[in-house]
Amino acid sequence: MGNHGQVTPGTYHHGHHWKNAHEEFEGAKQGMWVFLVTEVLMVGALFVGYIIFRAMYPEAFHEAHKLLNPKLGLLNTFVLITSSWTMVLGVSSIQRGQVSRCLAYLMTTVGFGFVFLIVKYFEYSHKIHEGILPGGLYTYKELAMDKVPLFFSLYFMMTGVHAFHVILGMGLITWVMLRVKRGEVSKQFFTPVELVGFYWHFVDLVWIFLFPLLYLLG
């Protein structure tokens, strides 16, 4: 974003329409914050939907949430929080010009992303196998209660949208790694690493709200 200069290690030329490289960096950062606001509003609608339906059907939601595995949810919470930590370390290493260390941290972050998705895969496939599915597809016999399928409509949409963002984030981190490798990102110009970091923290933050709302609230 906003990078229009030719980048060679050591000397970075900012885009011609910016006053200087610092202004360009600040502008890109502001842009990312604005983008994250749109993300908050997007998942916000789902949270509002959850809150409304939960208030309308508290018993059904209470029974339904027991079908989720809070241990796996907790594991994934740890995985993502740790990945945010490695992301921060990646950003701070490129700011110090430690290229290989930065790459290692970014790689670890992507690795944690994979672990998260694998855990999610086991959760999803177990639910699909049991017929614990959204709305019209719900066939689980042990808990045949009105509005329980609605809980899983929300569960699958919310965690699905989140997982999609995790995958996007992993893609973005991989793209940043390639740029670091090519020397396009350096001590002088680390905007992409920092901004993708913002994005990754946002994705974690969403999960930190999803976990208690879906898995813990009884």
Please, what is the minimum distance in Å from the beta carbon of residue 178 to other proteins? Answer: 17
* Binding segment toward other proteins, per CB under 8 A, in 28-36, 104-112, 186-194, 200-208: 28-36
CB closer to other proteins out of 9 and 49:
49
Q: Read out DSSP for 87-148?
A: HHHHHHHHHTT-HHHHHHHHHHHHHHHHHHHHHHHHHHHHHHHHT--SGGG---STT--TTH
Of 132, 150, 127, 136, whose CA–CA distance to 49 is shortest? 150
In the list 4, 66, 126, 181, the residue contacting other proteins (rule: CB under 8 A) is 4
In the list 8, 10, 11, 30, the residue contacting other proteins (rule: CB under 8 A) is 30
Q: For residue 27, give every residue at least 6 positions away whose Cβ sits within 8 Å of its Cβ, in sequence order, or none.
A: 2, 18
Please, what is the minimum distance in Å from the beta carbon of residue 89 to other proteins? Answer: 28
CB closer to other proteins out of 93 and 153:
153
Instruction: Look up tokens 């409304």; give the residue.
Output: 52
The distance in angstroms from the start CA to the end CA of the chain is 43
State how far the Cα of 62 lies from the Cα of 174, in Å rounded to an integer.
40
Neighbours of 96 (CB within 10 A): 11
Please, what is the minimum distance in Å from the beta carbon of residue 5 to other proteins? Answer: 8
In the list 12, 156, 189, 215, the residue contacting other proteins (rule: CB under 8 A) is 156
The residues of the shown chain that bind other proteins, judged by CB under 8 A, are 1-2, 4-5, 15-18, 23, 26-28, 30-31, 34-35, 37-46, 49, 52-53, 134-137, 146-147, 149-150, 153-154, 156-157, 161
